[in-house]
Structure 1
Amino acid sequence: MASRTADEGLEEQAPDESLKEPTDGALKEPTDDGLRAEARAWLAANLTGELRGLGGPGREHEAFELRHDWERRLGAAGWTCLGWPKKYGGRDAPLADQVAFHEEYARADAPARVGHIGEGLIGPTILEFGTDEQKERFLPPIQRGEELWCQGYSEPEAGSDLANVRTRAELSGGEWVITGQKVWTSLAHVADWCFVLCRTEPGSQRHRGLSYLLVPMRQPGVEVRPIVQLTGSSEFNEVFFDGARTAAGNILGEPGDGWRVAMATLGYERGASTLGQQIGFRRELDRVIAVARRTGAADDPILRDRLVQSWIELEIMRLNALRTMRSLGAGEPGPEVSIAKLYWSQWHQRLGELAQAVLGRAGLVYEDDEDLQRLYLFSRADTIYAGSSEIQRTIIAERTLGLPR
């Protein structure tokens, strides 16, 4: 890639060309046959125009029921959870095939997935820590696109400092009874289940005494209040638990072992699942480049250089995600996955700023290119949610580089 000029890099942004850079040999590159060809043919036959380009960050409100129906169609055809064991609805697909599907999905401009929290976060966590009964109960409905999930981590006084959670649960009559508040809970208003990190040992502090519970959302004692964002949409929520209940067996790991399970989930969130997230990133970058060409902004040498640099950095993000996915297959995710979170969040913010630079004065009016303006507004939160950049740098310094506290 280093031997290419900026002009060559930008011209290659056409979808069928931009994903063909060779790897360094550490990972077998997906080819154009096998599962890739199957996915391409299925998407061409099933993806209708009304679905193309829907959803994504700041746009999760778009045609949600239509996209949920699409999720079920994907599941029925075997296009969700490709790497999962066949007994739970997956294909046992190797990593190269999973990458191939993600790339074909992006090229087809298919809608943002509504089941990504289930497939990318809680599903792998259940596979790692769940009992056989839990796997049989929870994994197939995720694969089929029938049950949607949300993540109950952050609280008003426990965001990046996750170990400070105060939501509590106690066993009573064979059930966990949960009381407390979560905030910034993505898609809680449409979710069927929530995985909740809460304190189950009275008097415990920090990482000790936490448990990881699987809690049904549609019950008395659960209230969801949408949070209006800068974009005007409300995909984040406050969630209040006031005596909400879940069965005693709906706990991943042992009571008090919730921190270890929660960190594993964060590893999947910041590692393997970002490959699916990059579907949206690729579409957004394509959109910025298309607008730059249409308006003539691409003729400006400084803006053109920024566009090519953004393309290069997205390729780096992709290759690092592949490397991280390989490490995830070797055991529990390590602190190095914080590198991915730090990298993509800052890249996405720069893309939003670049979009506004390409739009120029037209970017001040929320009209024709409102998707790019929404990109700019939504990306301001990227370096805060799912672990702030400051916290990620601390994790990298202490746990990856071995620097003193």
Structure 2
Amino acid sequence: MDLTYSTEEQSFRAEVRAWLQDHLTGDFAALKGLGGPGRDHEAHDERLAWNRHLAAHGWTALGWPEEYGGRGFSLMQQVIFHEEYARADAPARVNHLGEELLGPTLIAFGTEEQKQRFLPPIVAVEELWCQGYSEPGAGSDLANVSTRARLEAGPDGDQWVIDGQKVWTSLAQFSQWCFVIARTEPGSQRHQGLSFLMVPLDQDGVEVRPIEQITSGSEFNEVFFTGARTDADLVVGEPGHGWGVAMGLLGFERGVSTLGQQVGFARELETVVELARSNGAYDDPVLRDRLARAAVELDVMRVNALRGLSALTAGSDSSAGGGAGSIAKLVWGGWHRRLGELAMEVAGADGLTARGAPYDLDPLQRLFLFSRADTIYGGSDEVQRNILAERVLGLPREPRPA
């Protein structure tokens, strides 16, 4: 894999950098740095306006085919955009789940009618999406979902009627739609009999309850479906075969935006190093060694991510192609969590108190608290190791309780 940039790619980087400099001005300039992990509640409406500004200038759906409203950019062009976006400290975008997850999934598995209905509003950031996967009894073990849906005839055509509960549903309080994994075949177990449904949230049968987090925001939500309805044709893929669609979506989750994420990681590491220099912690040889190790690991992580993405672009599956997605999740989740711990060690006693009443956390305190979840959300470490062991190494499946 060639990690050097061509003349055309360097020119594209300059174009992206110049556009962000020209447009992150005025009211938008005040949004810089807002909305990151654990801070999704910050200036949501203003960040939505910024996202729509991006869309109006063609900076959404970068890797989608042009026929579906995308830009058809190459892998390296997408990497460059996400890196420059992070370097500009541009605000976190509000439609990651629609643009980076559902959109590519519909392009791969959806009907032409579904694509024509749902892709344009995602590109324009007119409809926001959330993910209805995890449940109280089916977090890491997604195949254990108990939310059920049955097909019923109605005056306006057949509809799926959905009953169940989802949890850890990111940004549901801001979303108009949710893609839901539900059991649609009575008596089915595990991966069988599941369907991937698209469900409108603005209806009487849906209740969204925000969950207050230790970082003070409420990114996560509980979502209760009690006789909620969606049209019969809003199932992606064949009914009862939603597991493959769900796994396909998770493959898109670990896409090129992770390279921009790592630019954010580098900025956090730089903040920790600056604090260590200013408060004297850098004089401790053990802490200094750990900071140097974190910097080296971050560089290796970027190269490994590029290699994994290149393999996927070349047609290798996330699991069969060496487990690149699972390896990347294990690596960055563990690295970021250790960075949060290191930040608190560098801060010392100052890390134990809030900077203001009633609960005003500084960025490093928020980094520490939110990064505790990095090894759980987006696929827990346990699940990623099982994927690598069973699907890549061919080891026996872990025994399950009878």
TM-score, structure 2 as length reference: 0.90
Q: Which structure 2 segments of 5+ residues have no match?
A: 398-402
**Cα distance in 2 for residues equivalent to 1:154 and 1:379:** 19
Q: CA RMSD in A?
A: 1.8
Equivalent residue, structure 1, for 2:16:
39
Instruction: Give the counterpart of 1:347 among 335, 349, 360.
Output: 335
Instruction: Give the counterpart of 2:383 among 391, 397, 402.
Output: 391
Equivalent residue, structure 2, for 1:364:
352
SS in 1 for 2:272: helix
Instruction: Give the counterpart of 2:144 among 137, 158, 164.
Output: 164
**Cα distance in 2 for residues equivalent to 1:259 and 1:331:** 20
Distance 1:279 1:224, change over 3 A: farther
Q: Residues 5-404 of structure 1: matches in 2 within 5 Å?
A: 25-27=1-3, 29=5, 33-48=10-25, 49-173=29-153, 174-331=158-315, 333-335=317-319, 336=323, 337-367=325-355, 370-404=362-396
**Letter of the 2:326 counterpart:** S
Distance 1:83 1:236, change over 3 A: same
Q: Is the Cα contact below 8 Å between 1:56 and 1:280 reproduced in 2? A: no
**Cα distance in 1 for residues equivalent to 2:99 and 2:318:** 20
Q: Deviations over 1:329-350 (max 9, x none)?
A: 3447422111111111111100
**Cα distance in 2 for residues equivalent to 1:114 and 1:278:** 19
TM-score, structure 1 as length reference: 0.89
**Cα distance in 2 for residues equivalent to 1:278 and 1:151:** 23
- Runs of 4+ in structure 1 off by over 4 angstroms are none
SS in 1 for 2:388: helix
Q: Deviations over 1:105-155 (max 9, x none)?
A: 111111112111112211111111111121122122112222211110000
Q: Is the Cα contact below 8 Å between 1:272 and 1:328 reproduced in 2? A: no
SS in 1 for 2:173: coil
**Cα distance in 2 for residues equivalent to 1:397 and 1:288:** 35
Q: Is the Cα contact below 8 Å between 1:115 and 1:145 reproduced in 2? A: yes
Distance 1:315 1:218, change over 3 A: farther
Give the superposition deviation at 1:403: 2.1
Distance 1:28 1:176, change over 3 A: farther
**Cα distance in 1 for residues equivalent to 2:364 and 2:218:** 18
Q: Deviations over 1:281-309 (max 9, x none)?
A: 23322322332333333343322222222
Give the superposition deviation at 1:397: 1.1
Distance 1:289 1:147, change over 3 A: farther
Segment of structure 1 superposing worse, 387-396 or 154-163: 387-396
Give the superposition deviation at 1:27: 5.0
Give the superposition deviation at 1:87: 2.3
Q: Is the Cα contact below 8 Å between 1:221 and 1:243 reproduced in 2? A: yes
Q: Is the Cα contact below 8 Å between 1:221 and 1:241 reproduced in 2? A: yes
Distance 1:277 1:395, change over 3 A: same
Distance 1:150 1:276, change over 3 A: farther
Q: Is the Cα contact below 8 Å between 2:75 and 2:256 reproduced in 1? A: no
Q: Is the Cα contact below 8 Å between 2:147 and 2:182 reproduced in 1? A: yes
